[in-house]
Amino acid sequence: MEMSEQFWQASIKELKKGYIEEQDHFACLLCGTHTEKGVIYPHHDSLYDAEKYMKIHIQESHQSVFDYLLKMDRKLTGITEHQKRLLQLFYLGKNDKEIQTELEIGSSSTIRHHRFALKEKERQARNFLAMMELLREKDQYAPQFTPVHPTATMVDDRYNVTKTEKTKIIDKFFPDGVGNGLHNFPPKEKQRMIILGEIAKQLDAEHRYSEKEFNESLKQYYHDYVKIRRYLIEYGFISRKPDGSEYWLRKNTKE
């Protein structure tokens, strides 16, 4: 199961932790990093088991699950930039007066109003989640949609693709397998999103590529590697340095 699917299928309890437990390892829901059970991991002159080391990984690589979620696209969270800022300050333990001063808005009562509005949004979200859980048990005709990758830069109709459609798209554009490259570049946005996701899966998540190295890696999938590179960045699969000297697979929403 790919990382984005694990992210979206995780329970609230798992998502709050930021990782899931599998039979022989723990997997980070935010970037896919694994820690193997039975392995002892050294860190700053101390030794940690797999689960404890996963917690350290989340703290050091993502700061916190809260921060990771807060940086996700608005269409994935449903909250505005102003609400994100308020939530961040609430999370940091700021009181209403401190927040009012820092944001230079209204008064302390204005901040209390925002707190109330967010609590109301929480109640609505909880009720909606319960309804969707109940619906899932009854709606036998609901299609299985392809999960949105958490580092997506924009969430729109490009992601309105079922798992059946995804398989057909992959078979159409990679008839000889992903490793043998594209016969032609997909003309439609939905097709591009699927194809680029498959190419991104082939890249080494732990490696930072030089520009030349990255271009060579992409050439095996399509002759116009510049086009592939551009869309990988546009769709949020890849990040690069401003001068284009290094490229890497995105693990964080803030990369």
CATH for 157-249? 1.10.10
pLDDT of residue 157: 78
> What's the predicted TM-score (pTM) here?
0.70
Residues of the chain with pLDDT under 50: none
pLDDT digits (tens, 9 = 90+) for 23-32: 999 999 988 8
List the domain boundaries for the chain: 3-65, 72-138, 157-249
pLDDT of residue 38: 94
pLDDT of residue 253: 63
Q: Please state, as a whole number, how many other Cβ atoms lie within 10 Å of the Cβ of residue 166.
A: 19
Structure tokens at 199: 């190419």
pLDDT of residue 99: 93
